Structure 1
Amino acid sequence: MAVSGIEGALTCAHDPLEMTSSDVVMAHFRRLLTVDPERAARNGLKVYTALGIHPRAIPSDPERVIEKLPDLLKNPSVVAVGEVGLDSGSDIEKDVFKSQLKVADELDYPVIVHTPRREKADVTPQIMDVIDGTIDESMVVVEHVNMEVLPELVETECMLGTDCAT
């Protein structure tokens, strides 16, 4: 990337492992905050980070991660909360999503929101319901937007990210 003239990139917390506990999530965050930026810097690239519990990676004890999130966001490389959101629209996903949106709102951080690969048209309105009244839409980037949900999202104040896979 640096060879092509790119000076910086953003990496988001995601679902690379089965997140069985908060310890696994925190190990993932540590890698994003230490290993990846160091490796990128050796190659002339500045890496910024977004941290949050991905909806496909909710541990059995998400409250432990959410409790630590405000301190983690103080890391100078962290510029957003994410990738957070809903995948199936379950109650636990909604609770974890809303808790993270509240942290982002309180600390004035932008949020990168995941929309699911499947059932996107059914779950995206639920995502917007959680966002509504929790955080200012202008602080939200909704990711993986495709033509199926674009009409619903285009009138919001959210920034929209494309779904390159479709």
Structure 2
Amino acid sequence: MRLFDPHVHMSSRTTDDYEAMRAAGVRALVEPAFWVGQPRTGPGSFTDYFDALLGWEPHRAAQFGIRHHCALALNPKEANDARCRPVLDLLPRYLAKDGVVAVGEIGFDGLTDAEEEAFRVQAGLAVGFGLPVLVHTPHRDKAAGTRRSLEVVAECGVPPGLVLLDHLNELTIAMARDAGVWAGLSVYPDTKLDERRTVALLREYGTDRVLVNSAADWGRSDPLKTAKVAFAMLAAGFSEDDVDAVLWRNPVEFYGQSGRLDLDGPDGGAPPDGYAGNTIRRGG
């Protein structure tokens, strides 16, 4: 079983997580830029963060046989902080880099005017660079936020096939279906969806243009949720081909539209023995 986690924040995870993900079948992932919990005080913090998502994390993942790609953006929450707004001016030079397969996470947190302005700027950059967009739907006022997100991407000229509307649930997935965009289902231990609800949505809405992710972050989350959904699908009567479609072929198709998805090369293997006393080999 091969798995592709299309939304997981590995900068918040340990190498033990990489090892466990590899053992569970994860062979590729996308890490979107997000709010890291501690407010950042200026654009310099973002350049270091973006550089890590383009350099250190792919290096770390590769040592466990996992392909790492990223999506870059000024996230919705920090779009409200004037100190972080210059990040929008930095993004074009990062969006041109190999390994960046989407613009994201963009969207809404509190449905503010500042969030919508940043949303529109970054949706425009996605159109200009020909990249898919990963849209974060808010945890509060989800229905209103999902509806407005669809309006904004349409007004900005982003083709529906290049839009992934994430963190959907039973109240919002039909909106994504009706709009022709990709539907993202995030699976968590306590919040968002669980395996049972995810399988029920797949049974009702089908497996076309659906991506399932762990979205694992700093809080209580589980980077093995993609594997757990795979087993839950099989137990519910889905075929192995259905599992491969949802958890491999769909994310490959969506992010492959960037022209930058790289799944070739050595398959990796056991974690390294270390180098010069370190548990992970340092980059050159």
Relative to the length of structure 1, the TM-score reads: 0.92
| Runs of 4+, deviation exceeding 3 Å | none
The answer to whether 1:24 aligns with 2:45 is yes
The answer to whether 1:147 aligns with 2:170 is yes
Alignment partner, residue 9 of structure 1: 29
One of 96, 103, 128 as aligned partner of 2:150: 128
Whole-angstrom CA distance in 2 between matches of 1:88 and 1:50: 21
Q: Which amino acid in structure 1 is aligned with residue 33 of structure 2?
A: A
Alignment partner, residue 162 of structure 1: 185
Same amino acid, percent of matched pairs: 28
Whole-angstrom CA distance in 2 between matches of 1:14 and 1:128: 20
Whole-angstrom CA distance in 1 between matches of 2:186 and 2:98: 28
Alignment partner, residue 96 of structure 1: 118
Shift of 1:55: 0.4
Query: Which residues of structure 2 form unaligned runs of 5+?
Result: 1-20, 194-284
The answer to whether the 8 Å contact 2:30/2:71 transfers is yes
SS at match of 2:65: coil
- Bigger Rg, structure 1 or 2: 2
Alignment partner, residue 130 of structure 2: 108
Whole-angstrom CA distance in 1 between matches of 2:106 and 2:51: 17
**Aligned Cα root-mean-square deviation (Å):** 1.6
Alignment partner, residue 78 of structure 2: 57
Larger relative contact order (Cα-Cα within 8 Å, sequence gap ≥ 6): 2
Alignment partner, residue 77 of structure 1: 99
The answer to whether the 8 Å contact 1:22/1:60 transfers is no
SS at match of 1:20: coil
The answer to whether 1:38 aligns with 2:59 is yes
Shift of 1:63: 4.5
Shift of 1:153: 2.2
Higher strand share: 1
Whole-angstrom CA distance in 2 between matches of 1:28 and 1:133: 30
Whole-angstrom CA distance in 1 between matches of 2:57 and 2:33: 12
- The more displaced of 123-132 and 108-117 is 123-132
The answer to whether 1:86 aligns with 2:108 is yes
The answer to whether the 8 Å contact 2:96/2:129 transfers is no
The answer to whether the 8 Å contact 2:105/2:135 transfers is yes
Query: Which residues of structure 1 form unaligned runs of 5+?
Result: none
Alignment partner, residue 117 of structure 1: 139
Shift of 1:50: 0.5
Whole-angstrom CA distance in 1 between matches of 2:65 and 2:89: 34
C-alpha spacing 1:99/1:13, structure 2 compared with 1 (3 Å):
same
Shift of 1:98: 0.4
SS at match of 2:178: coil
Alignment partner, residue 268 of structure 2: none
SS at match of 1:154: helix
The answer to whether the 8 Å contact 1:81/1:109 transfers is yes
The answer to whether the 8 Å contact 1:20/1:60 transfers is no
Cα shift readout 1:121-153 (whole Å, capped 9, x = no counterpart): 122111112111211121100000001112322
The answer to whether the 8 Å contact 2:28/2:66 transfers is yes
